[in-house]
A and B are shown apart, each in its own frame.
Chain A
């Protein structure tokens, strides 16, 4: 059941996305039974291994047939399924307000992804948290699994305004430490940060055994840079403006962008980040569907 109707949530899209479960790529440590694999043995129907009986073990878990065959006591163990903690990290810096003509602003696009992801997680019983970051952590909602908590998350998303500089790397490092281990960390940002610095952050998150997913938002005009007349570019994050003759600088801009994207691609592969580049002219449903389907293939790793 949806709470109040919101502009960034489309029930039809959510219905389509809900057909594919949101799965983690690694074992999660939840506190209740869920749909995700756990590093611990549990009571699911999936057989895990035989273990020698130790005094104090529950006698009901003794495998009598094995005792009959081997004249030794074995305990039969099963895999455990648990829920996950989904931490959505939303970049709310000034650059996220950018939108070229007739395109969706990046912050709006990010809201749609974050809200849909939160809804899907909550629907399957996972805990959802939200962290809005700019120069610092603007808003931090720890992961919980109640429906009322989802409303809080959605309200926060609705009220989020992009502003200020980006200090994403520092905040990611901070979140790596503060979020309990084995969580699904979904970062939604334009990642206008040096890829070398990002690499450290991703490695830190991975070190903490988080399943890191990144949605990289880019505007079509940022990709194409099709300006013709001279332009005075003002920095949306408060930096110095820059006067540019686009026809002169276009090829160098593209060269810099290509280098950046190539480096980022290499880093996400090295750090095993589930990376998805989202051009805002594309419907957000598509990258999300790619994200969900991609995860179904990696299920079972514990």
Chain B
């Protein structure tokens, strides 16, 4: 049990007042001459058992009443971890609020979502603890929301659930900065979340910085993690994997791939059939999908596109897939857009014909019939003449750019374009896009990799390690690895750069790197430390690896081209939504919050479909052990709360009033004069 005003407990010694009064009263006796001494003598010889007990009970009840009065005045709180905050409450409460889609889940027996329950509980708790100001951090906005009272927080329309996956370490980072910039005493930070790994990002490097930052604060910061718990009942989600406009037997068709997943909670999985509603430009159809296990995937489901429908033109349109409602309504709908695929245009900046030829072979051959591929070869001095909006990939095989070319290239990368850098024949000390070439190194000896090795290959080095889990050299869709190990490398150009190594000859000699983006730039710069020239490598002769890698870069770069885009909520710049209108989605969403909610939005240039992050469909939660490691030595505690509106802390002063009243009544009963034993009527004086 804890108290909001614990200093009143100093008055607890007052409990002894009834005993002191009793003792003082015993000292203040009067002397009375008495005739009927024989009765007094007899009474004093009788057993005083009950009388003594009664006296002790009276004293006890009086002391109890005083104690209850003191406890009642000090405003006791119900016992529990959270009660500890009672004595350390501050006027300012900082709330880190998880508003991710998973927080829209409702619990059985209540219509409240986890987010609503968390807000209501927090509001009543903070009100009880006497918080005068509430500062709320969420993932939707950089600046915190400040409320004059906890109750104002609940009714604020900007704190409804959205589609943005929470970034707890990021929010804590901002909370830390806020605390630093404001002079607070002890601070209580309330983190309300359903503990999804996607929101907590336990492997994020910012946790260490946050931890150290909070430890270094002069004031005491206590973290209270309100765990709203994982799903206790079955929940199903649907997600569009891809939507492609393709030519088919019935003319132009939409090839739609989507995936249905379910989390079982405490239920046992059983095979069910789920009706999936498909809506393309207002035309609806329903297909039944058998869900045998935890997930089911439908690939390339063909929907014929008709030009008669205004909303679904043959060239461009939008649609959605929807499953029946369940405990979480946020993951029952997924949106998509489609359009005629734009041409994948590549710009090669090189003067080496051998390299140009090899790269052109990779960029001009389209992986799909419907996709056109174009390649343009220019010199660095001709970059100004290029229509950058239609370019997906720039392959750079010259001295690193400086001046105007660098400016153009940087802007291209920032806008989502892809750049692949090859080392020039004679590198200089120029640094551009985070890369500096330092000089060629010959790889004259390397272990033989098999009996098939030719004499020409004898002096070539082999790729020792590469990442086959993702990105350019990742395995194919059917899981087969790329034959990267068969590539022969004669020499590589050493470089100074920071990035992710995708393939390497050894620990110190990277072959392919992705340069880490700085600032607002996207991760669109790749560096290959050798060239497709036969003098340097067998990229051209063993062309499959280079073809696939370049086509993957092209595919990523072509995403910025065209007038439709599919993205996850929070990914596009919010400035994109300034003049946007909503084509599909939650109609109650305010226009200034389009960027935070899933749906289809139309801007002047784009038709944008945005959905929740893929990780939102994962039910993986942060374990207590992980949580302990994240908070480290910080003062924190976790409270598992249900999705109800009940306050986390409850003042229990009423119980003390009741006990006090009971004690007073018992004391009065004990003090009440006993029924007269004598039936003698004592007459009044005449």
A254 in the interface (beta carbon within 8 A): yes
Q: Which of B476-504 contact A (CB under 8 A)?
A: none
Q: Which of A208-266 contact B (CB under 8 A)?
A: 219-220, 222-224, 227, 229-237, 239, 241-245, 247-258, 260-261
Contact of A230 among B25, B37, B41, B52 (CB under 8 A): B25
Contacts of A97 on B, CB cut-off 8 Å? 35
B183 in the interface (beta carbon within 8 A): no
Q: Find the A residue at minimum CB distance from B50.
A: A251
Contact of A261 among B38, B52, B678 (CB under 8 A): B678
B520 in the interface (beta carbon within 8 A): no
Which of A55-63, A68-76, A274-282 lies at the interface? A274-282
Asked if B33 contacts A98 (CB within 8 A), the reply is yes
Contact of B25 among A106, A229, A251 (CB under 8 A): A229
Contact of A232 among B30, B55, B677, B683 (CB under 8 A): B30
B29 in the interface (beta carbon within 8 A): yes
With contact pairs A242-B40, A244-B44, A257-B39 given, residues A233 and B678 touching in the complex (Cβ less than 8 Å)? no
B680 in the interface (beta carbon within 8 A): yes
With contact pairs A224-B682, A229-B25, A231-B29 given, residues A252 and B43 touching in the complex (Cβ less than 8 Å)? yes
Q: Which of B3-48 contact A (CB under 8 A)?
A: 25-26, 28-44, 46, 48
B685 in the interface (beta carbon within 8 A): yes
Contact of B678 among A94, A219, A241, A254 (CB under 8 A): A254
Contacts of B52 on A, CB cut-off 8 Å? 248
Asked if A232 contacts B29 (CB within 8 A), the reply is yes
Q: Find the B residue at minimum CB distance from A252.
A: B43
Contacts of B33 on A, CB cut-off 8 Å? 98, 233-234, 236
B182 in the interface (beta carbon within 8 A): no
Q: Find the B residue at minimum CB distance from A104.
A: B685
Q: Nearest-CB distance from B587 to chain A (Å)?
A: 78
Asked if B29 contacts A255 (CB within 8 A), the reply is no
Contacts of A247 on B, CB cut-off 8 Å? 55
A20 in the interface (beta carbon within 8 A): no
Asked if B29 contacts A281 (CB within 8 A), the reply is no
In whole angstroms, how far apart are the Cα atoms of A248 and B53 in the complex?
Answer: 10
Contacts of A192 on B, CB cut-off 8 Å? 35-38
B141 in the interface (beta carbon within 8 A): no
In whole angstroms, how far apart are the Cα atoms of A190 and B38 in the complex?
Answer: 12
Query: What 1/0 flags go to A81-115 for Cβ under 8 Å of B?
Result: 00000000000001111100011001000000000
With contact pairs A106-B35, A190-B35, A252-B46 given, residues A229 and B29 touching in the complex (Cβ less than 8 Å)? yes
In whole angstroms, how far apart are the Cα atoms of A103 and B686 in the complex?
Answer: 10
A152 in the interface (beta carbon within 8 A): no
Query: What 1/0 flags go to B191-203 for Cβ under 8 Å of A?
Result: 0000000000000
Asked if B55 contacts A242 (CB within 8 A), the reply is no
Asked if A230 contacts B43 (CB within 8 A), the reply is no
With contact pairs A242-B41, A251-B51 given, residues A222 and B35 touching in the complex (Cβ less than 8 Å)? yes
In whole angstroms, how far apart are the Cα atoms of A158 and B459 in the complex?
Answer: 153
Most chain B beta carbons < 10 A, residue from A97, A98, A277 = A98
In whole angstroms, how far apart are the Cα atoms of A106 and B36 in the complex?
Answer: 12
Query: What 1/0 flags go to B667-686 for Cβ under 8 Å of A?
Result: 00000001011101011111
Contacts of A138 on B, CB cut-off 8 Å? none
In whole angstroms, how far apart are the Cα atoms of A234 and B28 in the complex?
Answer: 16
Task: Tally inter-chain residue pairs, CB-CB below 8 A.
Answer: 129
A283 in the interface (beta carbon within 8 A): yes
Contacts of A281 on B, CB cut-off 8 Å? 682-686
Asked if B44 contacts A254 (CB within 8 A), the reply is no
Contact of B34 among A234, A249, A258 (CB under 8 A): A234
Contacts of A234 on B, CB cut-off 8 Å? 31-34
Q: Nearest-CB distance from A17 to chain B (Å)?
A: 16
Asked if A233 contacts B32 (CB within 8 A), the reply is yes
Contacts of A257 on B, CB cut-off 8 Å? 36, 39, 677-678
Q: Nearest-CB distance from A197 to chain B (Å)?
A: 12
Q: Nearest-CB distance from A144 to chain B (Å)?
A: 33
In whole angstroms, how far apart are the Cα atoms of A253 and B34 in the complex?
Answer: 13
Contact of B677 among A190, A227, A254, A283 (CB under 8 A): A254
Asked if A255 contacts B46 (CB within 8 A), the reply is yes
With contact pairs A223-B678, A254-B677, A256-B43 given, residues A102 and B685 touching in the complex (Cβ less than 8 Å)? yes
Asked if A279 contacts B682 (CB within 8 A), the reply is yes
Contacts of A282 on B, CB cut-off 8 Å? 683, 686
Q: Find the B residue at minimum CB distance from A250.
A: B674
Contact of B26 among A233, A245, A256 (CB under 8 A): A245
Q: Nearest-CB distance from B264 to chain A (Å)?
A: 71
Q: Nearest-CB distance from A167 to chain B (Å)?
A: 14
Asked if A235 contacts B34 (CB within 8 A), the reply is yes
Q: Nearest-CB distance from B85 to chain A (Å)?
A: 47
Q: Find the A residue at minimum CB distance from B38.
A: A192
In whole angstroms, how far apart are the Cα atoms of A249 and B676 in the complex?
Answer: 14
Asked if A95 contacts B680 (CB within 8 A), the reply is no
With contact pairs A230-B29, A235-B34, A248-B48 given, residues A277 and B680 touching in the complex (Cβ less than 8 Å)? yes
In whole angstroms, how far apart are the Cα atoms of A223 and B86 in the complex?
Answer: 58
In whole angstroms, how far apart are the Cα atoms of A102 and B43 in the complex?
Answer: 26
Contacts of A223 on B, CB cut-off 8 Å? 678, 680, 682
Asked if B28 contacts A230 (CB within 8 A), the reply is yes
Q: Nearest-CB distance from A154 to chain B (Å)?
A: 23
Asked if B43 contacts A229 (CB within 8 A), the reply is no
With contact pairs A230-B29, A233-B32, A243-B29 given, residues A258 and B677 touching in the complex (Cβ less than 8 Å)? yes
Contacts of A237 on B, CB cut-off 8 Å? 35, 37
Query: What 1/0 flags go to A37-79 for Cβ under 8 Å of B?
Result: 0000000000000000000000000000000000000000000
Contacts of A244 on B, CB cut-off 8 Å? 40, 44
Contacts of B31 on A, CB cut-off 8 Å? 231-234, 241
Contacts of B43 on A, CB cut-off 8 Å? 249, 252-253, 255-256
Q: Find the A residue at minimum CB distance from B54.
A: A248
Asked if A219 contacts B35 (CB within 8 A), the reply is yes
In whole angstroms, how far apart are the Cα atoms of A282 and B680 in the complex?
Answer: 13
List A residues at the B interface (Cβ < 8 Å). 94-98, 102-103, 106, 190, 192, 219-220, 222-224, 227, 229-237, 239, 241-245, 247-258, 260-261, 277, 279, 281-283
Q: A229-B28, A252-B43 are in contact. List 13 more A-B contacts (CB 8 A).
A: A98-B33, A223-B680, A230-B28, A232-B32, A233-B37, A234-B33, A235-B34, A239-B37, A242-B41, A248-B55, A249-B51, A254-B677, A256-B46
11 A-B residue contacts at CB 8 Å?
A229-B30, A236-B37, A244-B40, A248-B48, A249-B51, A252-B43, A252-B46, A254-B676, A254-B678, A258-B677, A260-B39
A-B residue pairs, 10 tightest by C-beta: A95-B35, A98-B35, A252-B43, A230-B29, A256-B42, A233-B34, A282-B683, A283-B686, A253-B43, A254-B677
